[in-house]
Structure 1
Amino acid sequence: MPHPDIGSNGLIPISSNREHTRAILMKLQEKTSLILIFLLIISISVISIFVSVISLSSYLALEESYVSRDVALATHRIEDESRTLSAIVSDWAPWDDTYDFIGGTRPEYVESNLIPETYENLRLNLILIVNREGEIVYEGYYDLTSHTVVLIPESFHEHIRPGTPLMNLTDSRAGTEGILMTPKGPMLIASRPVVHTDFSGTPRGVVVMGRYLDAPEVERLSRLTDPSLQLIRVDDPGLPHDLLQELHNNGPGTGSAFRILSDAEAGGYALVKDIYGNDALILQILQFRDIYRQGVMTTLQYILIVLASGLFLGIAVLFILDRLVLSRIMDLSRQVSGIGTDSDVSRRVTIEGNDEFAGLAGTINQMLFTIETTQNGLLASESRFRELARLLPQVIFEMDTRGKLLYVNQAGTELFGITEEKIRQGLNVVEFMTPEEIERMKRGLATVLAGAKSSGEIYSLKKADGNLMRAIIHTSPVHRDGEISGFRGIVTDISDRVNLEEALTESQEYLQSLLWSVQVGIVVIDAKTHTIVDANPAALAMIGATKDQLVDRTCHKLICPAKPGECPVTDQGLVLDNSERSLLTRDGRSISIIKYVVPVMLQGRSCLLETFIDNTARRQIELELMESRERLSGILHASPVGVFEMDGEGSVIYVNERWVEMTGLSLDAMKGRRWTDILHPLDKDRVGKDVENRIRNRLVPRNEARIIRPDGTILWVYAQAVPLYDAEGGIRGYAGTITDITDRKRDEDAIQLANKKLNLMNNITRHDILNTITGLLGCVDMAKATNSVDERLELLNDIKDLTRVIQRQIAFTREYQEVGVHLPLWQNVNDVIARIRENFTSSGLTIIVDLENTEIYADPLLEKVFYNLVDNAIRYGEHITTISFFFQISDKGLSIICQDDGAGIPAESKARIFERGVGRNTGMGLFLTREILGITGITIEENGVYGLGARFEILIPRGTFRFVRGEKE
């Protein structure tokens, strides 16, 4: 039944189109309005929620940051107060007066220093001075209100026992500071060890000072930080029960927390621990929530502004959309409907503007143009097809079911001489085939007639010039009225391809003969199944198997040690390029090979081409080389001499451990430096010239020289080196050794010095004895000549005195001749003093030894030195009771000091006491002492204060003393 709106001409009236378009437009207006209103509501809601959440959370975070900042400020202020108190204690503890007071030698200390004004000025409630055993030497508990000093409460005693934090004596420069909870309330407290002002000496105890964190003190802190500051004990029942746990969760040490207490107030909290590490106080700061309330007001105002803006924007969008979009859609729809009504595709739609609708109109016009073009193109399709067939290089033909040709293109005419005339005469395709090819063609066409698809068959065809052409023929049936009326086909000349295939086959045979003759193992393995496809004779010989025993077998079971699924190439993705691997042989052995694996495509399947050579001999050489290197490394490590290597420029490029021990310089420290850089300045030019001269004369460089260690000590070494040659015979560097001859040099110097001293002493003694004998002979002559008994008696006494002088001189030479006779050696000072101590046990003298376990390099008569010092102190000290031996270290070396509490030595006599013949006895003791020490460069001087005792300082230069492990005396 026809549509009621269809007219007699079969077209829809224009008025009907307009009404339909208007109805569509009304629906679009309603939908657009509803969508815009819905989107407006959703947008305003999302913006309001987003702004509320973000803004209020930001204000809340800002509020929390302000409170947390104030809490941190208050916490830091308490820590500053604690450090300030510790600084005050550091002024009292490391003080010689305090040190002497604990030792009991300064009783006026309390009256001079610990007066009430001290407590007032320092705002202290507590001062304790405790010795090492925890005994109170001084205690003062000051009441800042009553201004009185009383004894400390009994509760403080438990905090000053040995082992408590306040009694920490492990580090003389460190101390304890923090909070101490007392029955009266929290107290800021600090303690430090009592040592000398220069932090020397063993700590004798501690100085403890404290200040109560009472209401006035907290009020003072609040003025410096926040007026609402409060310090609450952790056991205060008024605290929220979960606050302490929250503080622990917020930080491993001193945690902090923020809490909203009400709409008008928020609080910040921090945990304060005492000196024992226990929870002590909770620091509280309260603030009004002005920031958050302002944030709520600002957010509400913003939402109202967004709502008003959204309503105005929605109305404006609806108006603009109607004017700019919907009316243009109606116009475009009307024009398209008109074109569809009269079926005139040559007409075009028009719409003003340069927007999307104008673009849509252009697209519609393009579609209309395409439709018009397609109609015109269909008319020319047939002619273009025939022209294309004429230009193709392949032969296109059509024949009936009996083989009679119906059509051949230009290529068929050129190759086979087929013309339109011959086709009309009934030319058959069999005329271009051999008898064998004809039968095969019939079978192929029968297959196509049966419904199979032609896969293309290769035939030999006769060309117009009589030559044969190899070609592939594809055919397909031609259907007319539901029956096969003939065949269409394409003939492609493949003569060149066949020639290439024959050449490729010949090349493959040549390549196979070449690969099978090389002495490198070659194995082809299927990349998917890992079965062996082929192997050359060299590979079979290395594996020890025949080809039949390998082909079609899994490589993992025969030649590859890897397990199935763990192939280095296909499973692990490794690239085997001259890689060292293992090969399994037929008899189960594993031999080392150098393998190269390349993925290749062979006969249409993915394969792995593996080539390998036997690496057994090379592996053995590498093992022997490794053993040789390890042997050389062991020799260098255990060598008692330093070993080094230099390049051709003289820069050190290798040193062994003994070198580092001897010189104190590692290889990193020597990089970029020449070997002459570490020589002593006095030896650098001499040794450098000697080495250059020996190298020039092709002699082995060897010399004795001094090396300066980083610590400034001098090391004598004997060095020698041999040249190292490169492959061309040129010298690429030198390898050599250094031997420590420091002790030998010291011995030589000591012997030389001793001989010099002995020769000098012999000359002096001989001269003195001759002078004494001359005087003695003169007295004898005078005694003979006189007749006076008294004068003769006086001369005899003079003779006796002169004889005693000779006797003392001979006795001294007996002792002095031992100086330098034996080589110097390392001697433990504590052991030497312990031996001479036994000689004075009955003297009632107290000998105090405070020395490290030290050895010095000195003459074997070192014991005589300390004996003479003690004996000299007893002889001249008068009221001496104590002799102390202690040490000091300076830039010059180690000083061993012998100090007594005797009368001392006058300033005018200090320089003469070490001279020969000065003294009450023989006058040789201190002279001999100086001579013994001087053998190894050790000096001695007296620098005591007359009236306070003698003080002898023995200065031992660096390199002639060393500290050894072990307990000190």
Structure 2
Amino acid sequence: MDHSFIHHPEKWEQMLAVLIAAITVIIVILNGYGLMFGITNVLPHLFYIPIILTAYFFPRRGTLFAIAVSAIYCGMTYVFNPIIPGDLLSAGGRVIIFILIAVVVSFLTTRLRESEEKYRLLADYTYDWEYWIGSDESILYTTPSCERITGYTAGEFYADRNLINTIIHPDDKDALGHHMSHFFVPRNAESLDFRIICRDGSVRWIGHICLPLHNAKGEFIGRRVSNRDITGRKQAEDEYRETSRRLAEMIDFLPDPTMIIDRSGVVVSWNRAMEQMSGIPASVILGRGKPSYTTWISNHTGPILIDYVLCGDTEGIKTAYSNVHFDGNTVRTEADITHVNGTRLSLWISATPLIDESGEVSGAIESVRDVSDIKRIQRALRESNAYLDTVINTLADPLFIKDRSHCFVKLNNAFCHFSGHTREDLLGKSDYDFFKKEEADIFWEKDEEVFRTRRENENEECFTDSQGNTHTISTKKSLYINTAGEEFIVGIIRDITGRKLAEEALRLANRKLNLLSGITRHDIRNQLLALEAYLEISKESLEDPVQTAKFVAREEKIAETIAHQITFTKDYEDLGVNTPQWQNVNTVIRRVVARLPMRTIRIDEAAPDLEMYADPLLEKVFYNLIDNALRYGGEKMSALRMTSREENGALVIALEDDGNGISAEDKKQLFNKGFGKHTGLGLYLSREILAITGITITETGIPGTGARFEIMVPKGVYRFTG
């Protein structure tokens, strides 16, 4: 069957025109022949054939053709029967009918052609491959899109009814054969996916669906088939299946127990780790909903994190879990549970909703991690750190630990107290953040020496605290390497400031004692020589009582001087014997005042929290100063006043009275040994006692207005304890 004639009649226009012309000529000849014999009733009806054919196949020319045929017929009638009026009238009626038939057929054909054109355009321009297969298995119609999908034209499918079976992929022939075995039995729509081999050798997937066709009588006349190229979809499905398979394998082999539920709460994934933790095989739990996936948790009946995440119940999460972190859609928390076997578990839990392409929640995934061992280790570590803190905080000496970058990582309370900085301020900082650069440079150098040599190091250093007080310290440092290979410096400090001061005071005291002992021996020897001389002279003047009395008086004076020198050595022998110590100045003053006849003289004390680091004979110093004021201040003296002020990094303690004062001439020799109206040794001894710890004393009063002694105490030898 040549389908091109039905669907493409323009190819046959010339043949049809010739055929219609031939038929018309024959009918004209027959009617001419009939008119010659007077036959005018039957033969004219034959003109309907060419008129109808022309109006159908050439609707735009049908009416003109009918008019032409009518003119020919009328002419023939007039020629052959001019004298018969009835024949001419009958011919005119036929002409009108000819023209009406042509007009009607042309109009209907035009409408039919327009309708056919619409359906043809609709069919020929469908994207899918559509065709109509008859009950005899022949293709009655196919859309041109068959060429886009298969590479074969519609004409090739019309010409070869077996072409469809030829291009089927060998692996799909059996499935298609089974489908075709009942293809021509009137049934409902049926579908099948199969592959074809295109003209260029490529393989494409076809989504095939067919519907039964019936005519007006209800007779089965074939099936309408729609074939769609679903290669892209199949590739996407294959990729999705492969991705899903890989994802399923990844989830199954995740070390953390993991489960997935769909939007209805049904378990769709339950990996091996979850099987091991819960004791429930995946084959038992898959396809089941809650509470089946919580039955392994003892005494738990409510929702778990994945349930809250699935329904987006943020408030419920915050209510059910105390320690929750939200990171976008992911929720992380911790929980302690009891397994049905009685085991206590500490878990880290994270859950995330699964979002599909449309943005809707399609399920949720939850992953848990058993951190019970980590929690036990953390508890043990906390206990160990607490124990270590207790131990190191019990130490009286400051202790510190530094990391490889020389930053403090651990400190005891003694270090914080000694440095004057809080633990929070010190941790994570280095020496350069708190101490003088010259001090920090030494600390850093000694740290590096330990890191480099791996040997213990001990060094005497200067250490300035937050109050600006400089201490002399002995620091012992050693290297500690943990199991991770990290290196740390462990150091312990011993404050040797007092010891250093005592050593210096002792050295100075010994030097002064040696010097003073030599001077004292020399003075006593001179006095003894003088005494011996006067004794010899006295022997010679025994006969002169007056002269002898004078010599005896001088001898007594020498003996008194020797006695004072011996008494002075008694006081001086205690100088530097005992270690210097911190002494409250006001306390010392009160002890002195209690031993002296103060009469009505008032004394104003210094700052109550002032302490000096001095020889224990400090009390002797203030005794001598106040005793001298009482002896030589005169009747007008009414008060003694003690003040203090810091000046140029030192402390000046002033003790002044409102008495007679000291003359300018006496000031020059005031602290010399032997100068004075009494023994001449008190102020000299006071100066020596103070000098043991580096303290000096001067007299700065104005003669006639009172004496004023200023004691200059260097930094580090005084402090305020308040």
Normalised-by-shorter TM-score class: 0.5 to 0.7
The two structures, once aligned, show a CA RMSD in angstroms of: 5.0
Asked if the contact 1:583/1:591 (under 8 Å) is kept, the reply is yes
The CA distance in 1 between the partners of 2:244 and 2:124, in whole Å, is 43
- Larger Rg computed on CA atoms: 2
Give the superposition deviation at 1:768: 0.9
Give the superposition deviation at 1:758: 1.5
Out of 809, 815, 833, the position equivalent to 2:589 is: 833
Give the match's secondary structure for 1:940.
strand
Give the match's secondary structure for 1:843.
coil
1:679–1:767 distance in 2 versus 1, CA, 3 Å: farther
- Could you tell me which residue of structure 1 aligns to residue 713 of structure 2? 956
Superposed CA offset, 1:270-317 (max 9, x none) = xxxxxxxxxxxxxxxxxxxxxxxxxxxxxxxxxxxxxxxxxxxxxxxx
Mapped pair 1:458 → 2:192: yes
Mapped pair 1:678 → 2:436: yes
Mapped pair 1:896 → 2:653: yes
Out of 378, 382, 387, the position equivalent to 1:626 is: 382
Superposed CA offset, 1:229-284 (max 9, x none) = xxxxxxxxxxxxxxxxxxxxxxxxxxxxxxxxxxxxxxxxxxxxxxxxxxxxxxxx
Q: Equivalent residues in 2 for 1:446-485 (5 A)?
A: 446-447=187-188, 454=189, 457-458=191-192, 472-476=207-211
Give the superposition deviation at 1:749: 1.5
The CA distance in 2 between the partners of 1:943 and 1:806, in whole Å, is 32
- Could you tell me which residue of structure 2 aligns to residue 876 of structure 1? 632
Q: Equivalent residues in 2 for 1:376-775 (5 A)?
A: 384-385=121-122, 387-388=124-125, 395-399=129-133, 405-409=139-143, 411=146, 414=152, 419-420=157-158, 437=179, 441=183, 445-447=186-188, 454=189, 457-458=191-192, 472-476=207-211, 487-492=223-228, 518=253, 520-547=255-282, 550-551=285-286, 552-554=288-290, 557-558=294-295, 564=303, 567=306, 569-570=309-310, 571=312, 572=314, 574=327, 585-587=339-341, 589-593=343-347, 606-635=362-391, 639-645=395-401, 658-664=414-420, 674=432, 678=436, 699-709=455-465, 712-723=468-479, 734-775=489-530
- Could you tell me which residue of structure 2 aligns to residue 262 of structure 1? none
Q: Equivalent residues in 2 for 1:831-870 (5 A)?
A: 831-840=587-596, 843-849=599-605, 851-870=607-626
Give the superposition deviation at 1:903: 1.0
Mapped pair 1:815 → 2:550: no
Asked if the contact 2:256/2:273 (under 8 Å) is kept, the reply is yes
The CA distance in 1 between the partners of 2:446 and 2:231, in whole Å, is 87
Give the match's secondary structure for 2:656.
strand
1:632–1:381 distance in 2 versus 1, CA, 3 Å: farther
Asked if the contact 1:887/1:894 (under 8 Å) is kept, the reply is no
Equivalent position amino acid for 1:774 in 2: L
- Could you tell me which residue of structure 2 aligns to residue 160 of structure 1? none
Give the superposition deviation at 1:792: 3.1
Q: Equivalent residues in 2 for 1:327-338 (5 A)?
A: none
Give the superposition deviation at 1:457: 1.6
Equivalent position amino acid for 1:803 in 2: A
The CA distance in 2 between the partners of 1:624 and 1:668, in whole Å, is 26
Equivalent position amino acid for 2:709 in 1: F
Give the match's secondary structure for 1:803.
helix
- Could you tell me which residue of structure 2 aligns to residue 917 of structure 1? 674
Give the match's secondary structure for 1:564.
coil
The CA distance in 1 between the partners of 2:682 and 2:229, in whole Å, is 127
The CA distance in 2 between the partners of 1:891 and 1:719, in whole Å, is 32
Superposed CA offset, 1:311-341 (max 9, x none) = xxxxxxxxxxxxxxxxxxxxxxxxxxxxxxx
Asked if the contact 1:470/1:493 (under 8 Å) is kept, the reply is yes
Equivalent position amino acid for 1:591 in 2: L
1:566–1:470 distance in 2 versus 1, CA, 3 Å: closer
Give the superposition deviation at 1:630: 4.0
* TM-score with structure 1 setting the length: 0.50
1:649–1:583 distance in 2 versus 1, CA, 3 Å: closer
Superposed CA offset, 1:417-440 (max 9, x none) = 97546779xx9xxx9987853576
1:549–1:692 distance in 2 versus 1, CA, 3 Å: closer
Give the superposition deviation at 1:823: 1.4
Equivalent position amino acid for 1:406 in 2: L
Give the superposition deviation at 1:909: 0.9
The CA distance in 1 between the partners of 2:436 and 2:194, in whole Å, is 93
Superposed CA offset, 1:120-171 (max 9, x none) = xxxxxxxxxxxxxxxxxxxxxxxxxxxxxxxxxxxxxxxxxxxxxxxxxxxx
The CA distance in 2 between the partners of 1:582 and 1:524, in whole Å, is 19
- Could you tell me which residue of structure 2 aligns to residue 946 of structure 1? 703
Equivalent position amino acid for 1:628 in 2: S
The CA distance in 1 between the partners of 2:497 and 2:339, in whole Å, is 63
Asked if the contact 1:824/1:857 (under 8 Å) is kept, the reply is yes
Superposed CA offset, 1:785-813 (max 9, x none) = 44542333332222222111111101111
Give the match's secondary structure for 2:670.
coil
Mapped pair 1:798 → 2:572: no
The CA distance in 2 between the partners of 1:921 and 1:507, in whole Å, is 112
1:494–1:441 distance in 2 versus 1, CA, 3 Å: farther
The CA distance in 1 between the partners of 2:472 and 2:243, in whole Å, is 77
1:404–1:590 distance in 2 versus 1, CA, 3 Å: farther
The CA distance in 2 between the partners of 1:514 and 1:871, in whole Å, is 98
Give the superposition deviation at 1:406: 2.5
My pick for the range that moved more, 666-675 or 946-955, is 666-675
Count of residues in correspondence between the two structures: 568
Equivalent position amino acid for 1:554 in 2: K
Equivalent position amino acid for 1:922 in 2: T
Equivalent position amino acid for 1:678 in 2: K
The CA distance in 1 between the partners of 2:600 and 2:615, in whole Å, is 30
Asked if the contact 1:943/1:952 (under 8 Å) is kept, the reply is yes
- Could you tell me which residue of structure 1 aligns to residue 534 of structure 2? 779
The CA distance in 1 between the partners of 2:635 and 2:696, in whole Å, is 28
Q: Which 5+ residue runs of structure 1 have no aligned equivalent?
A: 1-375, 448-453
- Could you tell me which residue of structure 2 aligns to residue 140 of structure 1? none
The CA distance in 1 between the partners of 2:250 and 2:451, in whole Å, is 57
Give the superposition deviation at 1:947: 0.9
Asked if the contact 1:526/1:532 (under 8 Å) is kept, the reply is yes
Instruction: Give the share of equivalent positions with the same residue, in percent.
Output: 26
Give the superposition deviation at 1:838: 2.1
The CA distance in 2 between the partners of 1:690 and 1:626, in whole Å, is 31
The CA distance in 2 between the partners of 1:720 and 1:696, in whole Å, is 16
Asked if the contact 2:207/2:227 (under 8 Å) is kept, the reply is yes
Give the match's secondary structure for 1:899.
strand
Out of 641, 660, 663, the position equivalent to 1:885 is: 641
Asked if the contact 1:585/1:591 (under 8 Å) is kept, the reply is yes
Asked if the contact 2:409/2:427 (under 8 Å) is kept, the reply is no
The CA distance in 1 between the partners of 2:626 and 2:391, in whole Å, is 50
The CA distance in 1 between the partners of 2:428 and 2:227, in whole Å, is 84
Superposed CA offset, 1:864-913 (max 9, x none) = 22221221111111214423233231224333322222111001111312
Asked if the contact 1:846/1:881 (under 8 Å) is kept, the reply is no
Asked if the contact 1:650/1:674 (under 8 Å) is kept, the reply is no
Give the superposition deviation at 1:745: 1.3
Give the superposition deviation at 1:615: 2.4
The CA distance in 1 between the partners of 2:631 and 2:600, in whole Å, is 14
Asked if the contact 2:621/2:689 (under 8 Å) is kept, the reply is yes
Equivalent position amino acid for 2:506 in 1: I
Equivalent position amino acid for 1:752 in 2: R
- Could you tell me which residue of structure 1 aligns to residue 57 of structure 2? none
